Amino acid sequence: MVESMTNAQWRADPSSNAFDEIRSNLVDAAICCIEENGPDRLRVEEVVAVAGVSRATFYRYFTDKEELLVEVMARNSVRLAEELADVLGSDPPAGTPLGDVVIDGIMAAIRMVRNDPFSARFFDPRSAGLTSRLAAATTMISGLIADSMTDQTVSGAFSGRFRSDLPTRQIAEWITLVIVAVLTSELDEQKSDDELEAMFEAFLLPAILAS
């Protein structure tokens, strides 16, 4: 008598050589489908057809479509984080106020999403399943930003300029939450860049900069 397999036995082994490659292939396929139809109309049948694998293979590497969408958003979030990290992790010109550096980085990240239709679809507040995807994206973005800020905060141009009682990762999380809040609300459409920058200066900077 053949014993039924448990879900754990059925799922692919993350330590196998092919695990990352096949998952990445499925994510690539999902991105192709999303670029054409958007995340809300993504179907597993289309993903496996583009990836050239069976439906059974898909479920060995992803629990469901939502897990795949979270992975797609996490990968896309790396680009957003890198946009901000490039600003926060670089040496600003001598005498540049740290507040200006922070705001420039935030606006660079927001513009990247605005100008990238693929990214914009994922931050659309009308998108189904947005909450779970944002949770993954926020964790990914804040972690990458924190890593890029650490050297500058400890020994570089930012040394002593952020609040000493706040861990770098917490500051990065606050910056990330501000970006996500703007992108997933009507603020991005209702406010001009100057108005957004004024809001950041009034409400965010006093919370993270040393007095």
Q: What's the rounded Cα separation, in Å, for the pair 148 and 209?
A: 17
The CA–CA distances, whole Å, from 169 to 27, 107, 150, 153 equal 28, 20, 8, 11
Name the residue among 52, 51, 57 with its Cα closest to residue 10. Answer: 57
Tokens 């920058």 locate to 197
Q: What's the rounded Cα separation, in Å, for the pair 192 and 190?
A: 7
Tokens 């901000």 locate to 84
More confident residue, 154 or 170: 170
CATH 1.10.357 domain residues, the chain: 67-208
CATH class of 7-63: mainly alpha
pLDDT for residue 197: 95
What single string gives the DSSP state of each residue in 127-177? STTHHHHHHHHHHHHHHHHHHHHHHHHHTSTTTTTB-TTS-HHHHHHHHHH
Name the residue among 26, 50, 54, 48 with its Cα closest to residue 36. Answer: 50
Decide if pLDDT at 147 tops 90.
Answer: no
Which of the listed CATH numbers 1.10.357, 3.30.310, 1.20.1070, 1.10.287 matches domain 67-208? 1.10.357
Computed over every residue of the chain, the mean pLDDT equals 80
Decide if pLDDT at 116 tops 90.
Answer: no
pLDDT for residue 5: 42
Name the residue among 72, 171, 156, 78 with its Cα closest to residue 122. Answer: 72
Confidence of residue 150 (pLDDT cuts 50, 70, 90): low
Q: What's the rounded Cα separation, in Å, for the pair 100 and 33?
A: 39
Q: What are 26-41's pLDDT values in tens digits?
A: 999 999 998 888 888 8
Confidence of residue 115 (pLDDT cuts 50, 70, 90): confident
Q: What's the rounded Cα separation, in Å, for the pair 42 and 38?
A: 7
With a pLDDT cut of 70, the percent of the chain lying above it is 79
Q: 14 in helix, strand or coil? A: coil
Kindly report the pTM of this predicted structure. Answer: 0.72
HSE of 130, CA atoms in CB hemisphere, 13 A: 16
CATH 1.10.10.60 domain residues, the chain: 7-63
pLDDT for residue 158: 62
Q: What's the rounded Cα separation, in Å, for the pair 54 and 56?
A: 5
